[in-house]
């Protein structure tokens, strides 16, 4: 039907032409990109949709009337395709539908003008009615962008057991709360009913603002200790500070100046009280704990704080005054570089706290990854907590040999062996230290690894705390070429009546092992994998998978898992993905471009898990960042890197000195700088340890403080961002978490995963919260160290305590 009144105003005609050109250009781009995707064996959708959008644009620009019909048919098919490919996952559907829905809304708004210009009846009411429906759908999708989308399978039975005088927590005396290292506070003064009333009780400024533009410099990752009426902190550069638990007023500080500026952090401290009675182990055949004897002439340090510095020095401080302990090593210090040979600068350092194992201080050491074949060794050592004398050293490169102290040979330890850079756990009942072990010096090239490297790399190792003798070792990855270290402190639990330990890995696996034997207590299956053609590389073609526990963020990606904020970057992610060699978990690096998912950051990292023993429920935070990897041939003696792990945080090309390759790695991101796989990019997951099933999974963090193209996004969309640090769970039915990319401390209902409180901090955090009750006032506090979130430009020096308001 035609309309005698076919004229439209000049501005309306110009609008239609401009809009038509925009549609045509967008359609042409989609069609070209779609053709590129098809050339790599990808979906035909983008080519077909691009052609439809192109035709729509041409029709609009030339004054035709069929453009809206073509687009409507294509959009309807898009909706069907989206649900077919993505199911009912909100973010996956959003990426496929939202942009085209907005375009459909605009098209319906101008369709009366287009019809009128074409000499047709404008049908204003029907078209505007459809536009209104589209607008409602747009509003619904926008609303959904600000809602958390997760998994809710069941409600955990948490917060149902009241705290008693017998079970109430007195101190947060070790890195993970107590000897179980479960990051659990047996406190319920703050609970799910009143947490909404939490407010800042006090704020302390350490005076040290970390500086780390790419993650390779100073980072505040501290988990404080609380003993009695004192909080003990360490800054990234190893200043130790004591403050009052109720006021935050400084009691004392002790600085350990350093010139090191690469990979500088202090995650925690150790504490020992010589006046407390020694509890001997109860497990059969356990060795006895040696007595703690104050050195002759020493008058201080019955209670002592122990720290290993970034410069590889073990120090002991009086917990009451901050003075160096007399009789400990040399003037309160022990040089941990003894016996390591050349260990200058950041090649050998310590970032995680020592573990106090009875009366033995046990330390590992971080050996910088992917620098050179010849590096310091990863020896694990035990020192007398009172004198600092070395009791034993376990050399993983000398057939697991245990060397008794003292140290005399300056090159005693095997070079370039697997190391323990993450926190360790001590089981007092068996006098055993459990050690999460990393890899030998080069992660991605293993041609020259020794049998001992192959045995201990990426494993959990159990040593006798008194003698250093090996009890057992269990390997989680064979011949690791992915930097899949065991990255976290294990947590001690009772698993169906068996004393067990549990931990997560960068590969997204959760393991449950028998403490006595190291054997898995849940199902483990074998995954067949492929090599990658590096000459002489002895690939492990079978890998263990902890199939009896949930896999966290470790699914095998497909093209349909690719995501983007717009159809264009989603298309490009599909194109990039189809260009990589990818065979799922354990895709080996080669001279081509391969994809590793999870990447070497995880999966799960050093923050550890938290565990509520009253409900047998575990909480795990993770990050979901893939990495592409390319091995580039080079001269074996190419200059080494500086030891920073910015290759894992800022990325770039790194020469692997002594090997025939350098490595290039980068995050698997869209052209907009957003992870290519669909959200969440970081989550908090509750696991029922009775059934080994997921109770719930919720996204962690928003993009509010995420910087994109030099500007903060400012939108509190809970998409779930990569996390670092760990969680705190309490008997009050709460899980607290702060180490997101936005600047919030959050509390979740531990039964349901619902966020029920959050507090805006001046900067973000990479730390783990703790909770304690003041012995003076009886008030429960939540405490967090906030020095700046990873990938954030804002840094600070804040330690913030939260509490309920005083009752009137």
Q: Which residues are catalytic?
A: 483
CA–CA separation, 670 and 673 (whole Å): 5
Question: Residue 303 pairs with which residues in a beta bridge?
Answer: 273
Strands of the sheet containing 151-152, edge to edge, are 151-152, 693-699, 682-688, 617-623, 610-612
Q: Are strands 184-185 and 728-730 parallel, antiparallel or unpaired?
A: parallel
d(C-alpha 267, C-alpha 225), whole Å = 11
* Pick from 487, 601, 604, 508: nearest CA to 555: 508
Residue 48: strand pairing partners? none
Backbone angles phi, psi at 647, to 5 degrees: -60, -25
Pairing of strands 770-773, 780-786: antiparallel
Question: The dihedral of CA 238, 244, 247, 250: what is its sign?
Answer: negative
**Secondary-structure percent of the chain, ordered helix, strand, coil, rounded to 5:** 20, 30, 55
Tokens at residue 680, please? 């969440």
Q: Distance (Å, rounded) from C-alpha 510 to C-alpha 609?
A: 10
φ/ψ of residue 209, rounded to 5:
-100, 115
Bridge partner residues of 227 (DSSP): 230
> 8-25 burial, b for 16+ CB within 10 Å, e for fewer?
beeebeebbeebbebbbe
Alpha-carbon gap, residue 760 to 805, rounded angstroms: 17
DSSP, res 353 = P
Cβ(176)–Cβ(182) below 8 Å: yes
- The label of the residue with tokens 């997101």 reads 740
Q: How distant, in Å, are the alpha carbons of 175, 250, 313, 779, 786 from that of 245?
A: 17, 10, 28, 10, 17
- If we measure between CA atoms, which residue out of 604, 355, 611 comes closest to residue 495? 611
């Amino acid at each position: 039907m035609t309309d005698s009144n076919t004229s439209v105003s000049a501005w309306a005609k110009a609008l239609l032409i401009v809009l038509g050109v925009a549609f045509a250009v967008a359609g042409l781009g989609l069609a070209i990109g779609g053709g590129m995707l098809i050339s790599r064996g990808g979906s035909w959708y983008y080519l077909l949709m691009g052609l439809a959008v192109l035709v729509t644009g041409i029709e609009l620009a030339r004054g035709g009337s069929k453009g809206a019909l073509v687009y409507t048919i294509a959009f309807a098919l898009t909706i069907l395709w989206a649900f077919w490919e993505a199911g009912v996952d909100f973010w996956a559907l959003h990426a496929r539908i939202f942009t085209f829905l907005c375009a459909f809304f605009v098209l319906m708004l101008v369709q009366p003008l287009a019809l009128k210009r074409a000499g047709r009846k404008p049908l204003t009411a029907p078209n505007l009615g459809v536009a209104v429906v589209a607008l409602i759908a747009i509003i619904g999708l926008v609303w959904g962008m600000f809602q958390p989308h997760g998994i809710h399978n069941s409600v955990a039975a948490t917060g149902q057991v009241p705290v008693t005088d017998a079970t109430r927590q007195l101190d947060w005396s070790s890195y993970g709360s107590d000897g179980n290292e479960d990051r659990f506070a047996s406190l319920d003064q703050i609970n799910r009913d009143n947490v909404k009333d939490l407010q800042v009780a006090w704020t302390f400024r350490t005076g040290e603002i970390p500086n780390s533009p790419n993650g390779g410099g100073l980072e505040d990752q501290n988990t404080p200790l609380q003993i009695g009426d004192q909080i003990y902190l360490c800054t990234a550069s190893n200043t130790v500070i004591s403050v009052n638990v109720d006021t935050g007023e400084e009691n004392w500080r002790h600085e350990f100046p350093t010139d090191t500026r690469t990979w500088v952090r202090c995650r925690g401290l150790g504490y020992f009280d010589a006046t407390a009675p020694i509890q001997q182990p109860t497990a059969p055949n356990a060795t006895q704990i040696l007595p703690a004897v104050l050195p002759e002439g020493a008058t201080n340090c019955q209670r002592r704080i122990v720290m290993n510095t970034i410069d590889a020095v073990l120090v002991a401080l009086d917990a009451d005054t901050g003075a160096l302990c007399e009789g400990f090593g040399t003037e309160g210090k022990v040089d941990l570089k003894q016996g390591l040979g050349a260990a200058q600068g950041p090649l050998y350092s310590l970032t995680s706290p020592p573990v106090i194992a009875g009366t033995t201080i046990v330390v590992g050491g971080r050996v910088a990854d992917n620098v050179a074949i010849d590096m310091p060794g990863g020896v694990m050592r035990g020192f007398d907590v009172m004198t600092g004398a070395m009791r034993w050293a376990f050399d993983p490169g000398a057939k697991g040999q245990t060397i008794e102290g003292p140290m005399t040979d300056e090159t005693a330890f095997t070079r370039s062996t697997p190391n323990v850079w993450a926190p360790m756990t001590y089981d007092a009942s068996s006098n055993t230290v459990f050690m999460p072990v990393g890899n030998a010096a080069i992660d991605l090239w293993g041609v020259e690894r020794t049998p001992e490297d192959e045995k201990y790399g990426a494993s959990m190792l159990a040593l006798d705390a008194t003698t250093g003798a090996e009890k057992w070792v269990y390997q989680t990855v064979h011949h690791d070429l992915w930097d899949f270290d065991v990255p976290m402190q294990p947590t001690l639990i009772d698993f169906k009546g068996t004393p067990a330990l549990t931990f997560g890995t960068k590969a997204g696996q959760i393991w449950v092992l028998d403490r006595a034997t190291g054997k898995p207590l849940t199902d483990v299956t074998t995954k067949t994998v492929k090599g990658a053609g590096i000459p002489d590389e002895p690939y492990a073609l079978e890998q263990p998978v902890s199939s009896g526990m949930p896999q966290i963020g470790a699914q095998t990606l497909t093209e349909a898992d690719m995501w983007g904020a717009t159809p264009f970057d989603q298309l490009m992610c599909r194109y990039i993905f189809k260009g990589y060699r990818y065979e799922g978990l354990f895709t080996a690096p080669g001279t081509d471009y391969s994809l590793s998912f999870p990447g070497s950051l995880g999966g799960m990292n050093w923050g550890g898990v938290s565990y509520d023993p009253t409900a047998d429920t575990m909480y795990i935070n993770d990050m979901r960042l893939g990495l592409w990897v390319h091995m580039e041939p080079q001269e074996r003696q190419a200059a080494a890197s500086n030891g920073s792990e910015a290759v894992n945080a800022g990325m770039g090309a790194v020469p692997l000195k002594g090997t025939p390759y350098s490595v290039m790695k980068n995050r698997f991101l869209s052209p907009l700088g957003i992870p290519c796989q669909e959200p969440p990019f970081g989550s908090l997951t509750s696991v029922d340890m009775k059934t080994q099933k997921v109770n719930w999974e919720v996204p962690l963090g928003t993009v509010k403080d995420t910087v994109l193209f030099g500007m903060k996004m400012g939108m509190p969309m809970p998409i779930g961002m990569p996390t670092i640090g760990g969680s705190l769970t309490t008997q009050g039915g709460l899980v607290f978490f702060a180490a997101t990319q936005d600047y919030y401390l959050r509390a979740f209902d531990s039964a349901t995963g619902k966020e029920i409180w959050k507090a805006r901090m001046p900067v973000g955090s990479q730390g783990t919260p703790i909770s304690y009750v003041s012995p003076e006032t009886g008030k429960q506090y939540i405490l967090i160290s906030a020095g700046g979130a990873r990938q954030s430009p804002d840094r600070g020096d804040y330690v913030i305590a939260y509490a309920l308001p005083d009752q009137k």
